[in-house]
Amino acid sequence: MKKLLLSMLAISALAVTSCSSDDDNNDNNTVIDPTNFQGTLNDGDVATLDASQTYTLTGSFVIRDGATLTIPAGTRIEAQGGTSAYIAVAQGGKININGTANSPVVMTSGSSTPAEGDWGGLVICGRANTNKGGSTGQTATSEVGNLTYGGTTNNDSSGSIRYLRVEYTGATFNGEKEFNGVSLFGVGSGTTFEYVQSYRGGDDGIEFFGGAVNGKYLVAVESGDDSIDFADGWSGTGEYWYIVDGARAGIEGSNNSDDANAMPKTTATLRNISVVGGGTEGGIFIKEGGGIWTVDNFYIKDFDLGINIKDADSDPVANAHIVAGDITFTNVQFDGVTTNSAYIGDEMFFTTTDNATGAGSGAETPAWAAGWTRF
């Protein structure tokens, strides 16, 4: 997985002129200038965007502990500024994105010729477990914004995100450091995260860095790296994921890149998944310790390799999990796949079917994705 980075300088340089408290209201309601959307919401601040306006994201916008940003259905945010333009939720902050199927919230590039990597993306940091700090309950620092994440509150809430489309993210610092479309660092299960699409992001579409948040009805289209990625002790459920034309793995999952045995181990439950397209690293890639996986109703189409896993010499921990029966796939359909699995051994960890529905309609766009997504 590629990593992300933003220096503290970008945080310290946030312009505060775009957020000003309403002097006529004692509730700390904050007025945001739609022509210069950047700054910080601090403890007690509450802001609601106006769906009739198009907001120009000109820099970083950070929602701090005790602050809440609400984005109503139909709101459009157009970003300018490359790596300096992103939206971040710190621990204790909340973002409520209230899109609908007919009127999603759209965060996109403000360029007249939009392309992958035009801006950052959405970053959310919570208080749920991660193994990045080396053990259960540790905290770590996000690679975007230098924000603290992690802890022991697995049911932590960072708000509610529904019907959101994020486009043309993946701004690049260098060859190893890029933004994702949506990055979830230690986000808790009290957060709603569903009906979210990443479209043409320059790096990963959606990535879970630890945490316990569940992701339901997720779409990733033309991601520049992995389409959906999870690591660092993520213990969540992913349901109804529809992935198309990613550059590398459709789904990449690992335990910890520094310590394959780090605790708590990634424990992923995946069901009703479709991965379509010819990424170079397989329909799904198990790596860096793997963790514990339960996968059911998984449809993979048009890959040279369906399920990818490094050999036992390169990744003995992940292979040991397969031998122990900790990683299982049931009801997998390989359609136009040259090699079903890279794993060679006596243990068969997947069962196949000719009738997997995946995200709902096999390779076709599922009904639940109609209206709010783009392809």
Least confident of 18-27, 128-137, 151-160, 347-356: 18-27
SS3 of 317, please? helix
Work out the average pLDDT over 298-306. Answer: 98
Cite the DSSP H helix spans in 301-356. 316-323
At residue 136, the pLDDT reads: 66
Q: What is the pLDDT of residue 178?
A: 83
Q: What is the pLDDT of residues 90-140, one digit of tens each?
A: 999 999 999 999 999 999 999 999 999 999 999 999 999 999 976 667 899
| pLDDT value for 346 | 59
Bridge partners, 167 (sequence order): 199
% the chain with pLDDT above 70: 90
Task: Spell out the residues 6+ positions from residue 37 whose beta carbon is closer than 8 angstroms to its own.
Answer: 18, 55, 56, 57, 58, 61, 77
Beta carbons of 208 and 233 less than 8 angstroms apart: no
Residues 1-23: tens digit of each pLDDT: 444 434 333 433 333 334 544 44
Cα–Cα distance for residue pair 70/72, rounded to 1 Å:
6
pLDDT of the residue at 348: 83
Question: pLDDT at position 297, please?
Answer: 98
pLDDT tens-digit profile of 34-75?
999 999 999 999 999 999 999 999 999 999 999 999 999 999
Percent of the chain with pLDDT over 90: 85
* Side chain identity at residue 229, one-letter code: D
What CA–CA distance (Å, rounded) separates 286 from 341? 11
pLDDT one-digit tens code per residue, 236-269 = 999 999 999 999 999 999 999 999 999 999 999 9
3-state secondary structure (DSSP) of residue 230: strand
Is 83 within 8 Å of 173 (Cβ atoms)? Answer: yes
- The first and second tokens of residue 164, run together, are 């959101």
CA torsion 232→237→239→242, rounded to 10°? 0
* pTM (2 d.p.): 0.93
What is the overall mean pLDDT for the chain?
91
User: Letter for the amino acid at 200?
Assistant: R
